[in-house]
Amino acid sequence: MQSEGVPQGSVLSVTLFIVHLSQILHHLPSSVHGNLYADDLQISCQGSNMTLIERQLQNAVNKLVAWCNNNGHTISPAKSRCVHFCRKRNIHLDPVIHIQNIAIPVVDDIRFLRVIFDRKLTFLPHILHLRKRCERSLNILKVLSKTSWGADRTSLLRIYQAVILSSIDYGCMVYGSARPTVLRRLDTIHHSALRICSGAFRTSPVESLYVICNQLPLHLRRQRISALYFFRAQSVPRHPISQLTLPAFLHRLYAARPSRILPFCERAKMLLHDSDRNNITVQSSDFSRFPPWDIPHFSYLNPFSGFDKSSTAPVTFQQLFHHHRYRYSSFIPIFTDGSKSDGHVGCGVVSPSDTLSYRLHNCCSVFTAELVAIFCALQEISPSNQRNFIIYTDSMSALETLSHYDIQMHPVALKILSILHFLRKEGFSIIFCWVPSHVGISGNEIADSIAKFASSFLSQDIPYSDVKKSFVSHLYTTWQNNWDLQMNNKLHFVKPFIDMWPVHPIRELDVKLTRLRIEHTRFTHKHLIFGERTPVCPTCYTDFTINLILIECPSFKSHPNYPHVLAVPGDPLDGRYISVPGVSIGWYPSHLAGLLKGIKRRGHSLGLALRVVTVPGGDSERIGSG
């Protein structure tokens, strides 16, 4: 490999190259830090004396060049750059570093792994470059979003997420330290893409665009990605970020100067503090716990197979369980269960001699509670003098997870397999069995009861999957709270809760529905673009709005082309709806275009359609006139 290189196109080429080149970092001096990703190498040194920094970097470069010459590699001086990161405003010297007697040019910014780092770490060059690249990619959406024949909103949003939003998300943990005014330059890309995908009019409020497309604002999206990356780093043993801590004197400095932007780990901790999750310890995952030749075998019994719980009487399950216990009477029964309700997560273990109940963190899922209960049962078995035990649980998902080993399986499941492997080596015979819940099996009912009312907290790390779900739920709650404050937003009056609306497959009708729901159309709001006067209804002497045209204005109601409407008592809009036979949730009337043409003949080109409202007292959703 050193003399001939690696075969081009071989499956192992990249792996062999990385393994061979990974030794290069071991030749750096202790005062110089380095990062290597494939063939991209970065070294750095910090200090207050430029002469000392220059000497240390030159020494490191000389060692790297010597190692490359001995191992068949070459460092290209033409592709190498040097950046002096500092906040000094006065004139100061830059370092002079040579590679094979060729000086490395000192530049103001450099691109490393697709992120542009400038010398003051403002990340303005990176965001400007990213914005320019995304603006070119927006042309793809513009071509595909023709109103009369374009792609539907779902397809356009998928293209946007794959082509544009993925570029914005990449590296946001790094460039997220930029000033808010700099980060807001990317919001225009997000807003433009959502307008194109939804077909909303250009004057539509951005808050309405977020809700109509069910897309998070960029600042919340960056918070989600940064926090989840921080959680993931905490769950990986020996991850470099998990070892980063801020010295005490820097804590005092940042506290005295709140305008200073914190490092990434401290920003992530602030997000956890704001969401009341700063006391969480993420459970690490040991992916190499079992070698391939020593994976423990796991199986479980199901004496109730073939019986449907919905159509079988509880007494039948009780009889089956008594027959099962008769067959395994030599095994000591232990029942486990987990419970999750509003503000409470617990697990319970019931054995013939004792009962255990623990309360878990509210972030834990019921699946985690079930696994923790099984783990506690195995810990309870470990010091026992008995050797035959049978563990009953009503969680089929927990048993299925344990029976299908995977290196990325739940960390509590890995701990269960590990302690089970140890107990079997010690001579224990442990059987697992599934039992249905709430059918009168006494042990299971007791375990369920004590799990619901557990008060003793168990010091248990939280799996990454549970922390992720909890934090994402918190972000969406924050988004919903911000949306609740938009009381003057017309879409909020129609859609107070954020969720996904059904998308019409016909682009033209979906655009009309979107503009009606947001209540921004060409007729009612084009004056904001062209600087014209606000159109006023000659009958009502008020500004034209969607509600006025479709509900309130008597001149439209008396027109022969206006459709027949019926009052709906208790409607939240106190408006009217059009009775359309056969219309249900997710369906739209086939003669909607004819209705719009009738209104258009009245002299108002609205470019809109009817909104979907729920009729009180009925189980169907009809097309309403508001």
**pLDDT tens string 94-146:** 889 999 889 999 999 999 999 999 999 999 999 999 999 999 999 999 999 99
Same domain, 116 and 255: yes
pLDDT band at 591 (very low <50, low <70, confident <90, very high): very low
Instruction: Give residue 596's pLDDT.
Output: 44
pLDDT band at 2 (very low <50, low <70, confident <90, very high): low
Instruction: Give residue 599's pLDDT.
Output: 44
Instruction: Give residue 343's pLDDT.
Output: 81
The yes-or-no verdict on residue 600 having pLDDT over 70 is: no
Q: Please report, for the domain that includes residue 337, its CATH number.
A: 3.30.420.10
CA 579 to chain centroid: 41
**Domain assignment present for 53:** yes
Least confident of 13-22, 71-80, 100-109: 13-22
Structural domain including 497 reads 112-284+466-501
**Domain assignment present for 294:** no
Instruction: Give residue 341's pLDDT.
Output: 86
Same domain, 129 and 183: yes
Same domain, 320 and 402: yes
**Domain assignment present for 614:** no
Same domain, 323 and 445: yes
Instruction: Give residue 622's pLDDT.
Output: 36
Structure tokens at 622: 């009809």
Instruction: Give residue 279's pLDDT.
Output: 74
**Domain assignment present for 510:** yes
| Final residue in a domain of this structure, among 55, 74, 107 | 107
Q: Span 415-423, mean pLDDT? A: 92
pLDDT band at 559 (very low <50, low <70, confident <90, very high): low
Same domain, 419 and 339: yes
C-alpha 332/C-alpha 622 separation (Å) is: 59
pTM higher than the cut 0.95: no
C-alpha 239/C-alpha 232 separation (Å) is: 9
**Domain assignment present for 583:** no
DSSP letter at 543 equals B
DSSP letter at 104 equals P
Same domain, 408 and 480: no
Cα Rg for the chain, rounded, in angstroms? 32
| Final residue in a domain of this structure, among 491, 524, 556 | 556
Least confident of 34-43, 82-91, 596-605: 596-605
**134 closest CA partner among 99, 93, 98, 169:** 169
The yes-or-no verdict on residue 211 having pLDDT over 60 is: yes
Same domain, 135 and 211: yes
Residue with tokens 């430029």: 50
The yes-or-no verdict on residue 244 having pLDDT over 80 is: no
**573 closest CA partner among 546, 591, 538, 602:** 546
Q: Span 62-77, mean pLDDT? A: 90
C-alpha 136/C-alpha 131 separation (Å) is: 9
Same domain, 83 and 50: yes
| Final residue in a domain of this structure, among 537, 556, 575 | 556
Beta carbons of 341 and 453 less than 8 angstroms apart = no
**Structural domains counted in the chain:** 4
**Domain assignment present for 593:** no
**Domain assignment present for 367:** yes
pLDDT band at 6 (very low <50, low <70, confident <90, very high): low
* Residue/partner pairs of 91-94 with CB below 8 Å, 24 or more apart: 92/50, 93/50
Share of the chain above pLDDT 90, in %: 49
- Pairing state of beta strands 388-393 and 429-434? parallel
Task: Measure the CA dihedral 504/507/508/510, to 10°.
Answer: 30
- Mean pLDDT taken over the chain: 84
